Chains A and B, each alone.
Chain A
Amino acid sequence: MIPPFETFYEAHRDEVFRFLSRRLGRQSAEDAFQETFLRALRAYPRLEHGEHLRAWVFTIASRLVVDEARRARPAAELPELTAADDRLPAFEDLAPLTDELPPKERAAVVLRYGYDLDYDEIGAALGSTEAAARQAASAGVRRLRKEHR
């Protein structure tokens, strides 16, 4: 059962806004906040269940943070891609790979390696702790290694 959007919005708006403010600063955070919940609203009828909604909305918000960072940085100032950056897979690359993972592990892997979020932020997004997020991400990676061997 998917909760009414009002309930979902009331439950998560403040922490989503705090997260966006930390990453983007207050001004950009306001636009990103509105866009996050408009995107959530667009996708809402297609949700199959009401689990992990917190991680889901943080995934949307994280994606906007990444887009905003790209947009805000003028092309001329783009740093040379380092080897480490090059190895970061985009969300689109990770999504099909992680399809089969349990939801928590999947969210942790995508947020860590797709969005480069810190474990404390992932912990916040998943409603658990930094340690649990680290554990979920490494369990996910182990599982992926096993599956793709």
Chain B
Amino acid sequence: MDLASAKMIGAGIAAIGMGGAAIGVGLIFANFLNGALRNPGAAPKLFGNLMLGFAVTEALGIFALLIALLILFV
């Protein structure tokens, strides 16, 4: 197998990691909605933590994308 096709396959496999990030983001928002439905008054205070959790999870997903791009282009 030559290097170019190995790079493509490697990048494809590395991009699967973003699926984990997608699940994580969905979990965070689902739990936020759960909490907001039980206690609507506290929902605005919870919004900041929601954004923080989303940012960290999204960052981990973008790491996977970074690795895929590194494999493909470097």
- Do chains A and B stick together as partners? no
